[in-house]
Amino acid sequence: MQLLHMNQMDQTKFCCSVCLDLLKDPVTIPCGHSYCMNCIKSFWDEEEKKKIYSCPQCRRTFTPRPALEKNLLVEDLVEELKKTGLQAAPADHCYAGPEDVACDFCTGRKMKAFKSCLFCLASYCEKHLQTHYDSPTFKKHKLVEPSKKLQENICSRHDEVMKMFCRTDQQSICYLCSVDEHKGHDTVSAAAERTERQRELEVSRQNIQQRIQDREKDVKLLQQEVEAINQSADQTVEHSEKIFTELIHLIQKRSSDVKQQIRSQQETEVSRVKELQEKLEQEITELKRKDAELKQLSHTEDHIQFLHNYPSLSALSESTDSSSINIRPLSYFKDVTAAVSEVRDKLQDILREERTNISLTVTEEDVLLSPPEPKTRAGFLKYSCEITLDPNTANTQLLLSEGNRKVTFMDQQQSYSDHPDRFTGWRQVLSRESLTGRCYWEVEWRGGGVDVAVAYKNISRAGSGFGRNDKSCCLNSLSASAVLLSQCSLSKIISVRCLKKLSQM
């Protein structure tokens, strides 16, 4: 009983972990593991391109490739085992499981197939495959990796191996099909069609690899964007706190509100950037997976399986749109600092008339992931806000009504009090709210005409009218027959024309 136990242990220890058989010409590599000389040579030949050689068991790597010398002691022990008539019993993992391709010639418990023959349309374990190597009769047979789909290579109509491809019907066929129902069609050998599709596959892989590079570049840009947003937000908070310290007794509560809003907006924008970053990383992973599948497919020796699987693997998912990425380092939230400085300069006016100005500036901060520009009036109206007119700027021939949202030209002078911001030379009025960034507005009017303008706040009150100086631009002389400004297309023209002119000042 003890001798039997030792023999069982011995035969396990003297099996090659590559071929799972008793060691043949055993050699020991630097890590101490032993292999058949041919097995370890073949294994390292596959790693030749990387110039790094590893142990199949412990994965230890060696550079350069170690020289192999026979292990005479192990060889003698293996020979002793053979003399006793004992052979290495297959390990459990050598037997075919539900997901494995089983040998068609094993009886009882079947071994895993080592190769499949496209000529015999059968799969063989290493033992039963030996005939294909030894007998000249089998020399021309095509051996491929084990496959469960050999029967798919048989024509269901003629029970013949399909070795041709019909380009007209895009399907694999046998020779009899080509002279029967596919007669007159554009038919070629499966090998020829495989060659053509192989070229297409390589182009697809090149496209995938280029997309991977593009997406990796985008991910790096997004990471830089996150850092820029955080840095800019931190600087803005610091500047805001310094300014508010000077006015601590008057605007202490407002300072806290601004800080909180900046942080909230910072979190929102960083979250949006990271969401796109994660999406791009997921796409990179998917592209790498697709590339690996195509690479594996490109090495498939079975033409029919290649043609069968290629259409489903060659299709690419829609690319994530990253065209809106526009990096502007350290430029975020700078308008907030300017707005806070204006609060310091005109504290009383800000508290009374422009209470929401800072909040609007923060939320309108334009980060790279801006939503798409509205295309319809309904889309614009989702971002609408009420614009009111400033009575302190209205010319004395203008009457304000309906909560300072309507202005009417009057023949008689209005009894306005004196104010330094009032227009005296032209019948003009400014809005109470300031506009920042890219804006669009709507105006309704009745009468002979109206001028719609955008101007800097420091425009001269006694100088020339809107559009006649370097502080404003104006769309003027609109007659009653013109298209109403409430129509979105003309409103967008006004916005674009005004912004273009102001950008040149």
Residue 302: per-residue pLDDT: 85
List, for residues 329-384, the tens digit of each pLDDT value: 555 677 788 877 776 777 666 555 555 556 666 665 555 555 667 778 887 777 77
447/426 Cα distance (integer angstroms): 18
Stated length of the chain: 505
Beta bridge partners of 473: 454
Question: What are phi and psi for residue 106, nearest 5 degrees?
Answer: -75, 140
Each as own residue / partner, the long-range contacts of residues 433-436 (CB below 8 Å, 24 or more positions apart, any chain) are 433/354, 433/357, 433/385, 433/387, 433/388, 434/354, 434/357, 436/335, 436/360, 436/361, 436/364
- Residue 417, SS3? coil
Assess contact for 176 and 188: CB atoms under 8 A.
no
List, for residues 17-39, the tens digit of each pLDDT value: 777 778 888 999 988 888 899 88
Indicate the pLDDT class of residue 444, thresholds 50, 70 and 90: confident
Q: What percent of the chain has pLDDT over 70?
A: 80
